[in-house]
């Protein structure tokens, strides 16, 4: 994986984006652009619309109204962005085969597979488990393998949907360390969480969502030390947003 200068301008833009399913509004007129730099953390209670926001940004779904664009296009290929889902699906094969599959899908030439495989397994700390069936891994290991699969694309932006939601503290730490490593390599990380502590530990900037809207978006220091909106103040203070 090459080191890259931090992304100067992120190609993701939301113009008046709404998303509804069966008439229920999930996202409500979002106008937003992610900023480059350290990880952006999308935070908010369950049901705030975090996952939907990431899926729109990833290009997996299209808005009901408005435009979600990558590099100005609504139909841009998914080749420069990758995602790790909250519950990643392990293919029914070995750890190494999962990763080879992702390399193949990313269009990496076969000749480079072995080298990239070793590199990625080492990065996510699964070098010893290459032959293990992926479905036999623990939750944290599965999350790290999914991260390695996503990195196989060598993405410009990496989306992580609540990557530590169901992990114990040790596994959480391993994933968070990995997120820092990835960010340090110049890949823009956009992750969601409902854990305020995790946001404090990782965020370069914070996007607070509530009921399908962005309540406040600012850099992490400003968000935690000097929240502007009433909602952000209450959230940072540890109150429940309902």
Of the candidate spans 40-48, 65-73, 100-108, 119-127, the one that interacts with other proteins by CB under 8 A turns out to be: 100-108
91 lies in the binding site for other proteins (CB under 8 A): yes
Of the candidate spans 12-20, 65-73, 131-139, 172-180, the one that interacts with other proteins by CB under 8 A turns out to be: 131-139
Of the candidate spans 26-34, 35-43, 94-102, 170-178, the one that interacts with other proteins by CB under 8 A turns out to be: 94-102
79 lies in the binding site for other proteins (CB under 8 A): yes
Of the candidate spans 64-72, 92-100, 207-215, 218-226, the one that interacts with other proteins by CB under 8 A turns out to be: 92-100
96 lies in the binding site for other proteins (CB under 8 A): no
The half-sphere exposure of 234 on its side-chain side, counting CA atoms within 13 A, is 12
83 lies in the binding site for other proteins (CB under 8 A): yes
Q: With contacts defined by CB under 8 A, how many residues of the chain interact with other proteins?
A: 26
From 28, 37, 47, 101, residue interacting with other proteins (rule: CB under 8 A): 101
102 lies in the binding site for other proteins (CB under 8 A): yes
92 lies in the binding site for other proteins (CB under 8 A): yes
Q: List contacts with other proteins (CB under 8 A).
A: 58, 60, 77-79, 82-83, 85, 88-94, 101-102, 105-106, 133-136, 149-150, 153
């Amino acid at each position: 994986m090459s080191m890259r200068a931090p992304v100067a301008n992120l190609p993701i833009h939301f113009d008046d984006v709404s998303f509804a399913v069966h008439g229920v509004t999930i996202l409500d007129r979002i106008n937003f652009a992610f900023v480059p730099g350290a990880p952006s953390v999308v935070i908010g209670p369950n049901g705030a619309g975090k996952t939907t926001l990431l899926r729109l940004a990833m290009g997996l779904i299209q808005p009901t109204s408005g435009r979600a664009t990558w590099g100005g296009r609504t139909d841009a290929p998914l080749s420069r962005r990758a995602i790790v889902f909250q519950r990643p699906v392990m293919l029914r094969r070995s750890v190494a085969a999962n990763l080879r599959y992702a390399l193949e899908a990313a269009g990496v030439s076969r000749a480079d597979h072995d080298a990239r495989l070793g590199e990625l397994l080492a990065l996510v700390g699964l070098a010893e488990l290459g032959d293990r069936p992926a479905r036999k891994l623990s939750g944290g290991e599965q999350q790290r393998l999914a991260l390695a699969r996503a990195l196989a694309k060598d993405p410009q932006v990496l989306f992580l949907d609540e990557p530590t939601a169901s992990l114990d503290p040790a596994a959480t730490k391993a994933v968070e360390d990995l997120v820092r490593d990835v960010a340090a390599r110049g890949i823009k990380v956009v992750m969601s969480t409902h854990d305020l502590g995790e946001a404090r530990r990782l965020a370069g900037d914070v996007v607070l969502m509530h009921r399908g809207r962005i309540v406040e978006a600012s850099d992490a220091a400003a968000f935690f030390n000097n929240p502007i909106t009433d909602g952000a103040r209450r959230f940072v203070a540890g109150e429940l947003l309902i």
